[in-house]
Chains A and B, each alone.
Chain A
Amino acid sequence: MSVLIEAIGFGIALGAVIALGAVGFTVQFGISNVLNITYGALLTVAAYLGYYLLQLGWNVWVALAVTSVAMAVLSVIFNRLLLAPLSRRGTSFVGVVIVTVAAGIILQYCVVAVAGPDTVSYGQLSGSTVKFADLVFTTSQLIILAIAVVLMVALHMLLTRTQFGRAMRATSANPVVARGCGIDTDRVIDVTWLISGALCGAAGVALAISTVTFDFTLGPTFLIYMIAAAVLGGIGQPHGAMLGGMVVGVVSQVASAYSNPAYQDAYAFAVLILMLLIRPRGLFSAGTASARRLAG
């Protein structure tokens, strides 16, 4: 029993990190309709950025916030310089995906060139542990969980309750009619990349905190979990990505507790496939343009 509880605890902690990244990914994909695989390498960049700020003696949460802002800006630049011109020229959906894969690989080599191939660590973060019933969490795990929940709720409110959030969804669904309503769609797209870039930055640092040691492969390794969580939750739905992240985190940790940990990914993705068979559009069907593209 205690094995199970411990595994669930690890799963929730990991799930929060995955959720943070998945919420950013789902907003980016759901609104800008770009399946951006470079997101993985950008997570790595964020982790290293946080690492260097820690080397300067910064507090880890301040480093997370600053990294988040930096990644937000970087993300807008990335879209404006590379992806937006591609789609303006009519590059196909798959064509853009391939470009983001290529850009991710290039960026990964850039990280190696700058930071080297060795593993690094944020070091032991001071902080006590907190017990909920039989679940034990470190304070940093709880802070990450809180950040994920707050950002998810904020995003959900933005998208569904505010006129600007509706404009984001409208732009994604039908850019021509959105412009016909007077929406400045270019600005909406910029804000979308700003938000998802900030989440990517926060998730990268959170990943580095939770994995303790990491190297240049960090982001791409976890990206697949985040995509799984986003798809499971229903693309474009922040609360879906959150729940999806939790499911992926808990299932993989529980599976590894009861079997060979080497198989944990296989179990996690088997559950993903099973759940998608039951609910083809994810837990919360979103009905965004990209969700429909995925659902076929």
Chain B
Amino acid sequence: MSSAEPSLATRGLVAGYGDIPVVRGVDIEVRAGELVAVVGPNGAGKSTLLKAILGLAKVIEGQVLADGADITRAPLQKLVRLGIGYVPQTDDVFDPLKVRENLLMGGYLLDKQTRAARMEEVLAIFPALRSRLNRYVGTMSGGERKMTAIGRALMLTPKVLVLDEPTAGLSVALTEMVLTEQVRALADHGHAVLLVEQKAQAALRLADRAYVLVQGSVAMAAPAAQVLASPEMAEVFLGGQLKQQQAADQ
């Protein structure tokens, strides 16, 4: 299963918006069959890291590699064709299009028959969407929109799936379902999955490896279970939150 080269990797990636770096020299990698989580406090640069990988934020230095090939600054529509799928944290759907049309757009690169067949498979994953196929996504709830967004990205059966907080706005039950039955299952089926998740505990329980990102740098890179158990992790999350809480109380 594991090939010599990681499916997706960054080497010394420095990136941001304008000339000020938000991501400061990050090395991460994801291999086929692996679920890799990136966790960290708000504003740590997690979304920016993903955007830089996908050509949506400015890469100042360093490299992005897919199967060993340099894809630094490649436009998103090229990356899709290399089998890299992406679900952004926000603005992840086509509001004025129906659910059906969102999924069909996800399969834009497929031929008509494959597209229809694949849509059936995706609907089997998110059965709740089936009765809403003709609803405009703009009129749906946060959770329904997320399902549409993930379903859309799954239409192409991407080799590498990059997910920025796929469970934001989902109920506890649905979060559990999406993470275990979808995200984890994708990795188990041989996809490489790079997951940014606010619900760090849930993500770390399922992930193989994890990176803790703090102020644009990797503070810790280890097997997920180890990160979950580490005191640094508690410091980054609970500590940070406690400090904020104390500051607010004073």
Contact = CB atoms under 8 A, between A and B. Distances in A.
Contact of A288 (B81, B96, B101, B106): B96
Nearest to A236: B96
Contact of A167 (B56, B76, B81, B108): B108
Interface of B: 54, 56, 75-77, 80-81, 85-86, 88, 91-97, 101, 104-106, 108-109, 112, 136, 138, 149, 152-153, 156
Given A173-B97, A287-B96, A183 B105 contact: yes
Contacts of A57: none
Most chain B CB inside 10 Å of its own CB: which residue of A172, A180, A236: A180
A182 B96 contact: no
Contacts, number: 80
Given A167-B105, A173-B95, A288-B96, A185 B88 contact: no
B12 to A, nearest CB: 25
A286 B88 contact: no
Interface residues of A, number: 25
A170 interface: yes
Contact of B108 (A182, A286, A292): A182
B104 A163 contact: yes
Contacts of B112: 163
Interface of A: 163, 166-167, 169-170, 172-174, 176-185, 236, 286-289, 291-292
A169 B97 contact: yes
A174 B95 CA distance: 8
A181 B152 contact: yes
Contact of A173 (B85, B94, B153): B94
Contacts of A286: 96
Contacts of A181: 80, 105-106, 108-109, 152, 156
B55 to A, nearest CB: 9
